[in-house]
Amino acid sequence: MPVVWLIDPYRAGERSQVTALAEALGWGYKVKRLAYRKYEFFTNIFRGSNLRGIRLSESDALQAPWPDLVITAGMRNEPVCRWICEQSGGHTRIVHVGRPWANPECFDLVITTPQYRLPRRPNVIQNALTLHQVSEERLAQAAAQWREQFAALPSPYTAVIVGGDSGPYALGVRAARRLASEVTELVATSGGSILVSTSSRTHPAVVAVLREALPEPLYFYQWQAGDENNPYFGLLALAQQIVVTADSISMLSEACATGKPVYMFDLARGAMAMDPAARRLPADNDWRLSTLAYRGLMRWVWQRLSRDITLVHQRLADAGRAAWLGQPQLVATQSTQADLERAVDAVQAMFDAGEQA
């Protein structure tokens, strides 16, 4: 059975993806957590194969015996994985999840999504959505765990999953007020209760607006680091419909995996939307300098430096797997497990080919 190292990503969404793949392979794995130097960006931008970007004394040991496979995500981890491969004499295979900053040819396998606009190559898998840990079994467990705690709230439940600033999107108080208004309209039609979960990127001001503006009956969870009682999967399991802010493809992927109606909340309108023909700046949008800079990056600079999540939005809407909040939802039940199974098959095929050789 191959020896697997999971080079721990530094962002929660990427960590969830690589963990999902490692668990689905069923080979067992060791997690290697790294401590990064402040100037690690400069060691990575030149696509080296070294450990200069990490603080060795504060990181997990990287030493022989070397693994057969490393699974990773994120630019900071790329030089480390290439270094491991070199130390193994080229024996170690590298699987990168998400967007690689180096040429895809530097990896044995890349598992990505449309937002990164990678070229089609034999070692690149283009999944519709990100890998995730949502399964029927996990949802059933979460439903059993949380059902009693939500029992006092009238059903049906509408889950509202809230992200934050990300790339070309800003989620501030203006968008928060609009989100509260549109969710209120949705629940006025469906009835029942609202179950809210924020994330690590949700600004405190947004939390305050949503707490005040969303109507009762309401359950509100404010994200806390390391909280073992995080009800996130309980919300996904028990909700009859799910609203997700459109800044996060990971949250959208997990919501769609439930097979329930999913509504995407559009954080941007008018001149802040991705439509280059728009000229006005509506009063209900938020903006930040970083947001505008990212949008400029997407339009006028090399595409590899940015991501375009609107490509994912469009694919979900076209397939009927999600709708924009305020529009009719037509559910086209489509298992997202196919993406994970495709990734697992590709990894296993690498080792089957090696054995045959």
pLDDT at position 265 over 90 = yes
Token pair listed for 223: 């994200």
Query: Taking residues 293-301, what's their average pLDDT?
Result: 76
Backbone angles phi, psi at 324, to 5 degrees: -70, 140
What pLDDT was estimated at residue 280?
43
pTM listed for this prediction = 0.81
172, containing H or E segment: none
Spatial separation of the C-alpha atoms in residues 16 and 9, rounded to whole Å:
9
Lowest mean pLDDT of 57-71, 157-171, 253-267, 302-316, name the range: 302-316
What residues have CB less than 8 Å from 285, skipping those under 6 apart?
A: 170, 174, 175, 267, 268, 269, 270, 271, 272
Strand runs (DSSP E) across the chain, as ranges?
Answer: 4-7, 30-32, 69-72, 93-97, 109-112, 124-126, 157-161, 193-197, 218-221, 241-245, 262-265, 323-324
pLDDT band at 301 (very low <50, low <70, confident <90, very high): confident
Report the chain's mean pLDDT, rounded to a whole number.
88
One fold for both 4-131+339-352 and 136-335?
Answer: yes
**In the chain, what's the furthest Cα-to-Cα distance?**
64
Q: Percent of the chain having pLDDT more than 70? A: 88
pLDDT in tens, 156-193: 999 999 999 988 888 999 999 999 999 999 999 999 99
Helix axes of 249-256 and 310-319: crossing angle, nearest 10 degrees:
20
pLDDT band at 272 (very low <50, low <70, confident <90, very high): very low
pLDDT band at 47 (very low <50, low <70, confident <90, very high): low
Buried b (16+ CB within 10 A) or exposed e, 134-164: beeeebeebeeebeeebeebeeebbbbbbbb
Specify the higher pLDDT residue, 108 or 225: 108
Residue ranges per structural domain of the chain: 4-131+339-352, 136-335
Q: Give the CATH fold of the 4-131+339-352 domain.
A: Rossmann fold (3.40.50)
Domain 136-335: state its class. Answer: alpha beta
pLDDT at position 217 over 70 = yes
